[in-house]
Structure formats: C-alpha cells, structure tokens
C-alpha cells in the first residue's frame, strides 16, 4: 500500500481534520446541505439549454444567437465576488503575486502562501484510483449553503433561464457550483455533479458531459475546467471538477500535437509533443456528446486499470487534455528528489497545464522555465509506459489509425509555437483584479 503525507486542500469553511469529522446531528445549525438543514432551502438554478453542435474554431453556438445573458460575467463571477465581499474565502487570491516566466511556453508562476495554512499533514493512499465513498469523511454535502453559488442543470424545456430562488429538489440530486474557499485564481469554483448521490471521485459519461456543457455555457476560452483523480492529487473522494478564469493561455495549450487516431470522423485524438508531460489531446469535430463519450470512456479505462490521471477542459469544451501521471507514486516510493519535495508543489491539473502554484517566496523569485520543466518531467510517464497506456485506451475506443498524419505544428515546426506566442503575447493583465504583471 502506497501512501504519501501532504496537507489536504481546504475547499470549504466547514472542512475539518479527518480525526475531528463526525456525522452531522439533527439541527446542526450550520445551514449545510445535509438532511438536517436542507429542508426548505432555496438555491439559484441556472437551467441551460443543451448545446450539442460544435462550431470549429468557435465556442458552441446558440443557433447563431447570443445566450440570454452572460453566464460567466453576470452569474458565476458576480456570485463569486459576492462571496468574496462576505469574507467566505480563507485569503484574498487577487492579492497573490503572479507572473509569466520568461521562455518559449510562458509558464505562469503564482506565489500563494495561504493555501496550506492551519492544516496538518494527512496520509493519502495513492495506489488506488477507485476508492469507495466514505460519508464520515468530508464531502460536499457538509458545505454551508452560503458557499453554493447556484445549481447547474439542463432545462428540459430546451431554453436557458435563471431561477433566483428555486426550491432544492433533493430527490433528483441536483448538480451544484460552489466556491473553493482556498482559490488558486479569480473565480475558482467547484462543479459537483448530482451532489446527493454521494459519488466517489470517478469519471462517468453523464458527469463528464455536464462539465463540457459548463465549459460551453461559459463561452470564454479563458475559463477552463480541470479534474484530478485519486492518486493524482485529488484529496476529496466526492465527485467534483474545478474551474477558474485566467486571462492568458496555459503553456499546455501552446504545445504542438501529432494526430494519432480518428474516432468515426467525430473526434480526433493527438499526442502532445515538446511538452514535459506526455498526454493525449481530444478534439471534437461535430458534437459535444461524441467528444464527451470518447474522453469519458478513456478516463474510465484509466480508472479501471488503476492509472492516476488529470484532465484539462479547454476551448469552451472543444479541446480536452488527458494526462496520466505518476508523481505521487514516485513520491511514495522515495524516487522524487528532496529539492522538488521541498517546494511542496503538488502537480495536479493546473500545475501540469503550466500554472505553477508556489508556496515559498524563494521558489517564486527563482522561478524559471527550466525549473518548471524539471518538476513536470517527474510527473510524466516514461515513453514506454505511456505507449502501453495509450494502447489500453485505444483498445476501448472505436478508432481509425491516422498515425503519421502531421499536425499543423509538425508541418510548420517551431513557427507554429512562435505564431501562437505572438498572438497571445499582447499586453493584457493576468487577472481582472488584484496584483498582476503584464506579459510584456
């Protein structure tokens, strides 16, 4: 049994050390989402219209019309800022120093000394991706209702609408969007599918499609969703995705790719090139459903084969990065250098994508592309192991081999990277508010 000790991320103000966790009592007085408090609760409902068609190069369209109101700016960020004004966060993330590290890829460094305060190290098992849900440990039914921003569900009537004071429908197990009280970035939230089903941290088709719909509804390429499996630095075994807004491209989004397989002319799967972490990139050709099925089936394959992984959902849900990893396993086996361990960086989806969240001022001041590359190289599977994992995934997908077909990046070499870099290196802030440094 492989275990590592780490400080668990505090995502709710009601999260306690495991030793102190007890089952909630009737009338607990915390206004939580458990049976003791949810009777009569009303939470805003964002009922979205199911969008399925993918428009190449654009975010998913509302049949050539604009959505009734801006999801990201008017609702998610508005509600998030309301919770910030009410003092629900453990620290002000907008005051954290952030910079783009010089280099070809533009790794992003953030100094965030507040994420690990007031918690003691806890042991986490890292050799089992699938673990049963344990209601005695912290889960999202224990969060306070004030931490919930809104419910996020498909509208059976086919229209998009916001219902400000919708009664809580417990029997149909709504999906929730909540704040992360230890945010990495502006607008950092959690998407919790079917919260009352108390699902363990494992991908299924329905939940993954919900995450893609959220990316499509946001309609903003700077809004990404991420997923960490157990064994890949998820610390809460209750199904959830993370998401936040960052107004620069992630380095992984700039990396060139090579087309590898085609799935019934609906999904193209490519391999990452010239990036420290080996991974696959899924791109939809026609529908969100086909793309979602392909990625979720690949994730299920990894889960069933006990392979830890991370997922980044980018480009309004049209491009998805699937990244098997082994850093926690190496850490448990004592194969990670003391120098890297001392940084206390847990390379989950955001770090792997190139947003390095650093806990020490020394590491922030000395941040370099070389240091970021060295850390992420330890995350990656070896080439031999990566090929074995790809073979497992491709076996469960209905594939057409297109190995050898060059990607745009391969056809044009480093010029592709330079073009992307030039396009993105316009002087723009890293954040909407707070401390930031321009790219130029």
Task: Output the six-digit token pair for 222.
Answer: 């700077």
- Which range (149-163, 207-221, 318-332) has the least confidence? 149-163
User: What is the rounded distance in angstroms from the CA atom of residue 154 to the CA atom of residue 48?
Assistant: 5
- Which range (87-96, 164-173, 236-245, 312-321) has the least confidence? 164-173
Rounded to an integer, the average pLDDT of 107-123 is 76
How much is the pLDDT for 120?
62
Q: Is 412 a catalytic residue?
A: no
Cβ-Cβ contacts under 8 Å for 278 (sequence gap 6 or more): 271, 272, 323, 324, 380, 381, 383, 386
Task: Output the six-digit token pair for 373.
Answer: 């590359």
Instruction: Provide the 3-class DSSP secondary structure of residue 377.
Output: helix
The catalytically annotated residue of 116, 213, 238, 240 is 240
pLDDT band at 116 (very low <50, low <70, confident <90, very high): low
Main-chain dihedrals φ then ψ at residue 303, nearest 5 degrees: -60, -45
How much is the pLDDT for 351?
97
The pTM assigned to this predicted structure is: 0.87
User: What is the rounded distance in angstroms from the CA atom of residue 311 to the CA atom of residue 299?
Assistant: 9
User: What is the rounded distance in angstroms from the CA atom of residue 430 to the CA atom of residue 108?
Assistant: 9
């Amino acid at each position: 049994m492989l275990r590592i000790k780490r400080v668990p991320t505090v995502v709710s103000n009601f999260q306690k050390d495991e030793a102190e966790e007890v089952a909630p009592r009737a009338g607990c007085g915390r206004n939580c989402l458990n049976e003791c408090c949810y009777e009569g609760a009303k939470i805003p409902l964002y009922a979205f219209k199911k969008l399925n068609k993918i428009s190449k190069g654009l975010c998913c369209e509302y049949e050539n019309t604009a959505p009734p109101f801006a999801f990201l700016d008017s609702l998610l960020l508005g509600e998030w800022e309301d919770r910030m004004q009410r003092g629900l966060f453990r620290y002000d993330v907008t005051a954290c120093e952030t910079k783009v590290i010089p280099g070809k890829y533009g790794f992003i460094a953030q100094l965030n000394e507040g994420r690990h305060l007031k918690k003691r190290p806890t042991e986490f098992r890292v050799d089992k991706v699938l673990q049963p849900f344990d209601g005695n440990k912290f889960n999202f039914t224990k969060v306070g209702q004030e931490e919930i921003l809104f419910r996020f569900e498909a509208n059976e009537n086919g229209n998009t609408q916001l219902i400000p004071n919708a009664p809580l429908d417990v029997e149909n197990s709504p999906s929730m969007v909540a704040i992360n009280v230890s945010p990495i970035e502006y607008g950092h939230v959690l998407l919790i599918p079917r919260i009352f089903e108390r699902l363990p941290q494992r991908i299924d088709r329905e939940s993954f499609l919900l995450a893609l719909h959220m990316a499509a509804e946001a309609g903003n390429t700077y809004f990404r969703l991420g997923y960490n499996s157990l064994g890949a630095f998820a610390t809460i075994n209750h199904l959830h995705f993370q998401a936040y807004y960052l107004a620069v491209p992630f380095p992984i989004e700039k990396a060139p790719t090579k087309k590898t397989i085609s799935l019934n002319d609906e999904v193209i799967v490519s391999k990452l090139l010239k990036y420290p972490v080996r991974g696959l990139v899924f791109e939809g050709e026609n529908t969100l459903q086909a793309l979602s099925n392909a990625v979720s089936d690949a994730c299920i394959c990894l889960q069933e084969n006990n392979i830890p992984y991370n997922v980044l959902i980018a480009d309004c849900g049209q491009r998805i990065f699937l990244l098997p990893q082994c850093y926690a396993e190496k850490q448990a086996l004592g194969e990670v250098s003391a120098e890297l361990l001392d940084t206390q960086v847990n390379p989950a989806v955001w770090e792997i994508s190139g947003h390095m969240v650093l806990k020490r001022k020394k590491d922030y001041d000395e941040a370099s592309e070389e240091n970021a590359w060295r850390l992420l190289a330890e995350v990656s599977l070896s080439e031999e192991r990566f090929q074995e994992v790809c073979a497992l995934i491709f076996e469960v997908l209905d594939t057409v081999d297109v190995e050898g077909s060059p990607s745009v990046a391969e056809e044009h070499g480093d010029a592709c990277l330079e073009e992307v870099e030039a396009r993105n290196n316009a002087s723009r802030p890293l954040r909407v508010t707070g401390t930031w440094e321009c790219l130029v």
